[in-house]
Structure 1
């Protein structure tokens, strides 16, 4: 599937979720429908799996269908209902509505890393540490584990990861006489060379994507969001934000970026014919390329993400999600048993066999995984590049507790820089002002730099 693979490519493209932040704060301190997860233990998980019961799982990740089938065969007393209630914004609206209503809440929900703080701060997600999750430290790549943990609490188990890399069309590069850029300065020069070769060909497409921009700021060493409970500081003028804005502005000023919307038919068509020659994105991209631009099989390759300092190896995550147990679940031990199977046990290999990119360090370093030579990428061992990226994610990144809303107003603020009506630096300040204003309106204590 080209447009809805379940890979974490939707980050940054969500619409506004009206009232979610207010609902989050209103939900703080609510009591679960049964005993807290803190009263349970790994022994309770084992007993629950044997005793059985019914589980409701809301997720869009397609490989989970195969996991559920195998899980039910392993634990015949458990019946799992897997429902896709929507992706991205639709999913979160339905989930939040169920939580507010106090009925129909799933036992397990898929939550993208950037949206997870929005639900955990509300007390809507169970802390999985007492159930055994605290022992999984080291099981996952650093970036994904950092995304699901907070001060000793564990609010989900990672499904996948999106360490970033440079995907490029080797055929177009060769025709243009372009070299694979190792730094962002070289990236700008490569963009010039590609466009000079053919005025209809661009190195990259970008019509204004919040997820991409924040990942670039992350890799540049930025820490625009500092969150301590409901106290938030926003600084989109920090070093990383300024680095990204200055470099990307050169591409916009010189018309070196095509504004073709991502995931559109035209976007895939141009990836296929090489007139969009590269992508800087997450490790989940290979399956999307293979299915969305099959005619380009053999043309694409993967290289490390360009660096701000020559010889460095800093990367960031772009996308990715976890499975979480809701605080409202009456089957927390059983629900965690499913998470453990799907994201730390036998289910991991099932998902890998169906095209998922792992978050588990054992698989990221597996000789078998690293040795794969996909035909679409000309037989290149692309997992060697992608796995190396997963170990080089810059630590310390935080998302806003209302990142879903912040991303939704990105087009109205930073998006204006892509039309030429303002600059990226000025529009990032506009975005910052909007984020601060909204957060304070919702009851958070938010300040600027």
Structure 2
């Protein structure tokens, strides 16, 4: 479980990017008891007036394609200038953002924040609640899972910028060569792992050295709910729940029988394995389609996309794996907040959606996911397959109710020290998950949360 999202990849085995302060403890994304949004404090006319007046904004992101939306917005609104600044990827980005928030100055007007990290910053009262602009009325434009990801305790802190529904990416050439059927269930996946490796000891069903992001997505797809928050400050962690146990039971034999290539995601060995057929599959979000095409160009025509396997034949179950959006910082002036909000609406719920899709962005907007043009688009890298049909169905099959911890970045940073040890034989996967739970319980208690099991 090591194919890490571009939005997540630098969080692996990194230092925690900042604690959740005692004074700002609140409920987690999508938690029960969230209060309805208040009436908008500003109108569309206010935003238009602000955009017409103009402003110079600073946007912190490591995204390489958001410049397309910036250029389109600036062309429409010549008095607006948006400077994109890359202060680092993943943890480095969050550390600098955290430091600026603590200092009370130096924060950008807009910043990339992944869905998994959003609660941590929302709880610090550092982000503008977009409900004040009436953006809560845009809910029906987005998939339910991505909308849930940007709502924290009744506040709306981003619009969904992208979606990352999971799928099984597989090397058709390898499966055909060894006469192995593409798995539709996880039992079939385990069987395929054994058959491929028996046919060629250099061929593995997947590469894995342990990754928090993919592991949590797999638990999500298995129906697990290991993290939840009730009320204002009670966090429940159960990394032995039914869904988590399903994943541990599936993955443990693969580790023990050495059916997984011990190569970290994004490493040279990982890319080589994808190119030469030593890695036969990837379980990842829709963004992996672009990553394969750009990172493994020699694999063109060999790879295909299939639905994520399920635990029961014919079951409909998937999860998100990665993704994020853009938040407005409270340090920004009122005028700049209005302009920043207008840009977000343009990019994520307006004409900018098409601009971003042309730049390779996978949409979170229902209308685009359902459009004939999107669904019927043929992808040359995947042998002309209409891969968007697989991704769009996966988006509909994402299981509801998932929550991230309000200190998920910290959780991801200690994954390697706990669960990750199972991959080198120092512990079992189930024991490693319980070690992870213990570490997260201790940290949550230190931060003032009431942690229950």
TM-score (norm 1): 0.94
2:386 alignment counterpart: 381
Do residues 235 (structure 1) and 234 (structure 2) align?
no
- Asked whether the equivalents of residues 271 and 293 of structure 1 are also in contact (C-alpha less than 8 Å), the reply is yes
Do residues 369 (structure 1) and 374 (structure 2) align?
yes
Do residues 434 (structure 1) and 427 (structure 2) align?
no
Tell me the SS of whatever aligns to 2:191. helix
Task: Give the distance between the partners of 1:420 and 1:250, measured in 2 at CA.
Answer: 12
Q: 1:252 to 1:112 in 2, by over 3 A?
A: same
- Asked whether the equivalents of residues 11 and 91 of structure 2 are also in contact (C-alpha less than 8 Å), the reply is no
2:19 alignment counterpart: 21
TM-superposed CA distance for 1:294, in Å, is: 0.6
1:139 alignment counterpart: 141
- Asked whether the equivalents of residues 158 and 343 of structure 1 are also in contact (C-alpha less than 8 Å), the reply is yes
Task: Give the distance between the partners of 2:267 and 2:307, measured in 1 at CA.
Answer: 26
1:349 alignment counterpart: 354
What per-residue deviation string (whole Å, max 9, x for no partner) do you get for residues 276-313 of structure 1? 01000000001110111111100000000000111111
- Paired residue for 1:294, among 290, 294, 297? 297
TM-superposed CA distance for 1:117, in Å, is: 0.4
State which drifts further: 202-211 or 146-155. 146-155
Tell me the SS of whatever aligns to 2:140. coil
What per-residue deviation string (whole Å, max 9, x for no partner) do you get for residues 393-444 of structure 1? 1000000000000110000000111111211111110000000001111222
- Paired residue for 1:172, among 174, 179, 184? 174
TM-superposed CA distance for 1:38, in Å, is: 6.0
Task: Give the distance between the partners of 1:82 and 1:25, measured in 2 at CA.
Answer: 32
Task: Give the distance between the partners of 1:224 and 1:398, measured in 2 at CA.
Answer: 8
- Asked whether the equivalents of residues 6 and 61 of structure 1 are also in contact (C-alpha less than 8 Å), the reply is no
- Asked whether the equivalents of residues 221 and 318 of structure 2 are also in contact (C-alpha less than 8 Å), the reply is yes
Task: Give the distance between the partners of 2:54 and 2:5, measured in 1 at CA.
Answer: 28
1:99 alignment counterpart: 101
Do residues 326 (structure 1) and 329 (structure 2) align?
yes
- Asked whether the equivalents of residues 8 and 284 of structure 1 are also in contact (C-alpha less than 8 Å), the reply is no
- Paired residue for 2:112, among 85, 96, 110? 110
TM-superposed CA distance for 1:17, in Å, is: 2.0
TM-superposed CA distance for 1:130, in Å, is: 2.3
Do residues 278 (structure 1) and 281 (structure 2) align?
yes
1:32 alignment counterpart: none
1:309 alignment counterpart: 312
Q: 1:288 to 1:37 in 2, by over 3 A?
A: farther
Tell me the SS of whatever aligns to 2:141. coil
What per-residue deviation string (whole Å, max 9, x for no partner) do you get for residues 188-234 of structure 1? 00101111110011010110000111111111111111113332111
What per-residue deviation string (whole Å, max 9, x for no partner) do you get for residues 118-172 of structure 1? 0011111111012021111111111111100134421101111110000000000
- Paired residue for 1:81, among 79, 83, 86? 83
Task: Give the distance between the partners of 1:86 and 1:313, measured in 2 at CA.
Answer: 38
What per-residue deviation string (whole Å, max 9, x for no partner) do you get for residues 223-265 of structure 1? 1111133321111010011110011001111111111010011
Tell me the SS of whatever aligns to 1:21. coil
- Asked whether the equivalents of residues 38 and 130 of structure 1 are also in contact (C-alpha less than 8 Å), the reply is yes
Task: Give the distance between the partners of 2:430 and 2:60, measured in 1 at CA.
Answer: 39
Task: Give the distance between the partners of 1:326 and 1:37, measured in 2 at CA.
Answer: 20
Unpaired stretches in structure 2, ≥5 consecutive residues: 27-37
TM-superposed CA distance for 1:383, in Å, is: 0.4
Do residues 337 (structure 1) and 342 (structure 2) align?
yes
2:265 alignment counterpart: 262
Task: Give the distance between the partners of 2:15 and 2:88, measured in 1 at CA.
Answer: 15
State which drifts further: 37-46 or 213-222. 37-46
- Asked whether the equivalents of residues 248 and 430 of structure 2 are also in contact (C-alpha less than 8 Å), the reply is yes
- Paired residue for 2:162, among 160, 163, 176? 160
State which drifts further: 347-356 or 278-287. 347-356
- Asked whether the equivalents of residues 207 and 279 of structure 2 are also in contact (C-alpha less than 8 Å), the reply is yes
Task: Give the distance between the partners of 2:153 and 2:441, measured in 1 at CA.
Answer: 24
1:33 alignment counterpart: none
Do residues 405 (structure 1) and 393 (structure 2) align?
no
- Asked whether the equivalents of residues 235 and 432 of structure 1 are also in contact (C-alpha less than 8 Å), the reply is yes
- Asked whether the equivalents of residues 11 and 90 of structure 2 are also in contact (C-alpha less than 8 Å), the reply is no
Tell me the SS of whatever aligns to 2:325. strand
Task: Give the distance between the partners of 1:329 and 1:17, measured in 2 at CA.
Answer: 26
1:411-422 residue pairs with structure 2 within 5 A?
411-422=416-427
2:67 alignment counterpart: 65
> Aligned-pair RMSD on alpha carbons?
1.8
TM-superposed CA distance for 1:6, in Å, is: 8.9
Do residues 8 (structure 1) and 10 (structure 2) align?
no
Task: Give the distance between the partners of 1:267 and 1:329, measured in 2 at CA.
Answer: 41
Task: Give the distance between the partners of 2:426 and 2:236, measured in 1 at CA.
Answer: 27
Q: Give the number of equivalent residue pairs.
A: 436
